[in-house]
Amino acid sequence: MGSDTITIKKDSLWKYSTFILLAVVVIGAFVMFKGDNGLPTGNVVNDGADNLPGTTRPAEVSASADDDAVLGDKNAKVTFIEFSDYQCPFCSRFWSGALPTIKSQYVETGKVKFVYRDFPLNSIHPLAQISAEAVECVREKGEDAGYWKMHDKIFENQQQLSEANLKVWAQELGYNIDSCLSSRKFKAEVEKDTQDATGGAGCRGTPCTVIGKNQISGACPATVFQQAIDAELAGKDWYSPGNCQIVVN
């Protein structure tokens, strides 16, 4: 009985080897991009906050409005404090996502006063500190009304953020902040906010929200903040949901 022999030409062998190598690469990439639920995804899962390592969240947080700008009735029953970073993409998501609902339903109706406090993550956002100082420079000239205009201007144009543009944007709003920004007049003010964020507020990243004695970390949906505010208005305890899982598209 003769033996069966399979003959493969050299050029065919090369083609088969290339195909096998390509298949291995594809399978490897597929495995790398699998999500926690076992389903393949090309997205990056993030907890909704730009995290700052080495900090811990206390069981009960505390934060004050300090002397920062207030949006809404200063005598409102509930104080909503956001520790934020002008270069943080998740802070921008909160600004464009949840904040408009909070403003229309609670701030403009006199139930909540919204306070923005600075928490620049300088190690990963090199323009966050100078941006915060720029807004304070505008506030010095235009009071709280000017502050909120500059605040919105930066988030509207976050992708074009630069020190030069900060001066241009302030000028467009009617304020020359060149000398104020060059002098770093409000550097200590911004640093004080950062100390309060990592201290009593127990913030580990941005955005970090304090409502009452509870903290919500991340760019959560408006419904999460609504539940917290409604509970505060009713004088009831509420459970902080912690970090919100979102997907970066």
Question: Which CA distances in Å does 68 have to 116, 117, 136, 157, 192?
Answer: 7, 7, 9, 23, 11
Tell me the residue type at 141.
K
pTM: 0.75
d(CA 65, CA 82): 10
Rounded Cα distance between 171 and 64, Å, is 31
Q: Establish if 24 belongs to a structural domain.
A: no
Tokens of 235: 């004088």
The answer to whether position 109 is within a domain reads yes
Pairing of strands 205-206, 50-51: antiparallel
Report the number of distinct structural domains present in the chain: 1
Residue 214 in any domain: the answer is yes
Range of the domain at 207: 50-248
Domain-located, residue 12: no
Say how far apart CA 206 and CA 198 lie, in whole Å.
11
CATH number for position 60? 3.40.30.10
Digit-by-digit pLDDT tens for the chain (249 residues) are 444 444 545 455 445 555 554 444 333 433 333 333 332 222 223 345 565 444 444 556 778 888 899 999 999 999 999 999 999 999 999 999 999 999 999 999 999 999 999 999 999 999 999 999 999 999 999 999 999 999 999 999 999 999 999 999 999 999 999 999 999 999 999 999 999 999 989 898 999 999 988 889 899 999 999 999 999 999 998 766 666 654 333
> Does 11 reside within a domain?
no
